[in-house]
């Protein structure tokens, strides 16, 4: 199944039912008064946040979503039935944007909460409503109001505490699977991860959610590789964890870090205002580490890092200390 985190749709709330033109017709009452009932209200379109959903796949092929219209009024002052509200489930972190202006309409983030996006039209008035001392047999009614119509863009931004950033094959997926119950696809080739993965880490005194996004490469801001499409999934995080690969044959640790920082800055410079942590991975396959860490520290001393750690995602060496530091940065 393809991972869908954007969708363009049209919402059409239900129209209100028209009022009824009717007069009493009863035996022995030849000139009965008006008894036309009001029309029913049109159905609303409601988004409900469902924590068990993590994609917008259900909206991928839906171009128009229509709620039920209200029923017209009837004789004997019977009000038409209201249109049924259409409740659509969306993942937490769904942003509802106006297609034309890209302005935010609604941020659907609270679990189980319902958000009314498009309101149904009010029902029209039956002729009973227009009876007066001077008009005992009104023939006037009103039509139901049109329901609201919205052209919207849905954009999913995952809700996570920590964003995991690194080049392909840095070991991000292995790290996430070692600290949480998440089981992302792991392989020894670029772009094994093709979609964001979320993992919940139990800290004993709380939890934190880590988001693993597909690896970034140089030139991603210009569309190379998978581009920066998935960076929106770390835009809400409190901290960023850069995972670096000391056995990368093409780039030193400092080059990796500076390149990643540069690509993030091009996408959204405010990302670099978060708590920044660096983890040098694969300590289980490298020899002397002190010189490696010291050299890196000197090369990035002007950058306000919250922490620099040497870890192994496979053996979990240094991982516990890293997680405690990251967790304490926003708690």
Question: 212 - beta bridge partners?
Answer: 164, 197
Cα distances from 296 to residues 199, 258, 285, 292, 305, in angstroms, run 28, 11, 18, 6, 12
135 versus 287: which is more confidently predicted? 135
What secondary structure letter does DSSP report for 23?
A: B
What is the Cα–Cα distance from 227 to 221, expressed in whole angstroms?
6
Please report the DSSP string for 138-183 in residue order: -----PPPPPPEEEEEEEE----SEEEE--TTSSHHHHHHHHSS--
**What pTM does this model have?**
0.76
Q: Taking 50 as the threshold, does the pLDDT of residue 194 lie above it?
A: no
Token reading at 126: 């039956």
DSSP state of 267: H
Question: 51 and 111 in contact (C-beta within 8 Å)?
Answer: yes
**Residue 22 CA: distances (Å) to CA of 34, 160, 284, 288:** 6, 59, 85, 93
- Residue 225: its pLDDT value, please? 52
Eight-state DSSP code of residue 129: G
* Confidence (pLDDT) at 181: 73
Residue 144, pLDDT > 90, answer yes
pLDDT at 186 over 80: no
Does position 188 have pLDDT exceeding 70, yes or no?
A: no
Structural contact between residues 153 and 45, judged by C-beta atoms closer than 8 angstroms: no
Question: Selecting from 2.70.210.12, 2.30.110.10, 2.60.40.1170, 2.40.50.840, what CATH number does the domain 1-156 have?
Answer: 2.70.210.12
Convert the pLDDT of each residue in 27-56 to its tens digit: 766 667 899 999 999 999 999 999 888 889
The CATH class given to the 162-328 domain equals: alpha beta
Pick the most confident of 63-72, 171-180, 248-257, 286-295: 63-72
Residue 182: what pLDDT?
63
pLDDT of amino acid 192: 39
Q: Say which residue the tokens 């972190």 belong to.
A: 93
- Beta strand 64-66 with 114-118 is unpaired
- Does residue 325 contact residue 296 with C-beta atoms inside 8 Å? no
| Residue 90 pLDDT | 95
pLDDT at 247 over 80: yes
Domain chopping of the chain, boundaries: 1-156, 162-328
> What pLDDT shows up at residue 193?
43
**What does the pLDDT average to over 229-234?**
77
pLDDT for 240 equals 95
Strands (E), 26-121: 45-49, 64-66, 86-90, 94-98, 104-108, 114-118
Give the model's pLDDT for residue 297.
86
Q: What is the pLDDT of residue 29?
A: 65
For residue 325, what pLDDT is reported? 94
How far apart are the C-alpha atoms of 324 and 331, rounded to whole Å? 10
């Amino acid at each position: 199944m393809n991972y869908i985190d954007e969708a363009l749709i049209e919402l059409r709330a239900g129209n209100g039912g028209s009022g009824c033109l009717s007069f009493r017709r009863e035996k022995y009452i030849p000139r009965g008064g008006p008894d036309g009932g009001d029309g029913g209200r049109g159905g609303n379109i409601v988004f409900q946040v469902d924590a068990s959903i993590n994609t917008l796949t259900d909206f991928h092929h839906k171009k128009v979503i229509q709620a039920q219209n209200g029923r017209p009024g009837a004789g004997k002052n019977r009000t038409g039935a209201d249109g049924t509200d259409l409740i659509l489930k969306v993942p937490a972190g769904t942003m509802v944007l106006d297609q034309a202006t890209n302005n935010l309409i609604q941020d659907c983030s609270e679990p189980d909460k319902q958000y009314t996006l498009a309101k149904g039209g009010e029902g029209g008035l039956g002729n009973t409503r227009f009876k007066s001392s001077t008009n005992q047999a009104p023939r006037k009614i009103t039509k139901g109001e049109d329901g609201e119509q919205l052209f919207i863009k849905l954009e999913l931004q995952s809700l996570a505490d920590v964003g995991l950033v690194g080049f392909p094959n840095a070991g991000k997926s292995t790290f996430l699977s070692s600290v949480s119950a998440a089981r992302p696809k792991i392989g020894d080739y670029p772009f094994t991860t093709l979609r964001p993965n979320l993992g919940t880490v139990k800290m004993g005194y709380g939890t934190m959610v880590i988001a693993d996004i597909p690896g970034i490469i140089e030139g991603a801001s210009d569309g190379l590789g998978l581009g920066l499409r998935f960076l929106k999934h770390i835009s809400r995080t409190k901290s960023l964890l850069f995972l670096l690969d000391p056995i990368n044959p093409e780039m030193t640790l400092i080059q990796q870090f500076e390149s990643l920082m540069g690509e993030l800055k091009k996408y959204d410079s405010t990302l670099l205002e978060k708590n920044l942590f660096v983890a040098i991975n694969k300590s289980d396959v490298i020899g002397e580490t002190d010189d490696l860490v010291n050299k890196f520290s000197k090369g990035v001393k002007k950058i306000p890092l919250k922490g620099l750690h040497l870890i192994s995602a496979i053996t979990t060496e240094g991982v516990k200390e890293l997680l405690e530091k990251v967790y304490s940065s926003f708690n």
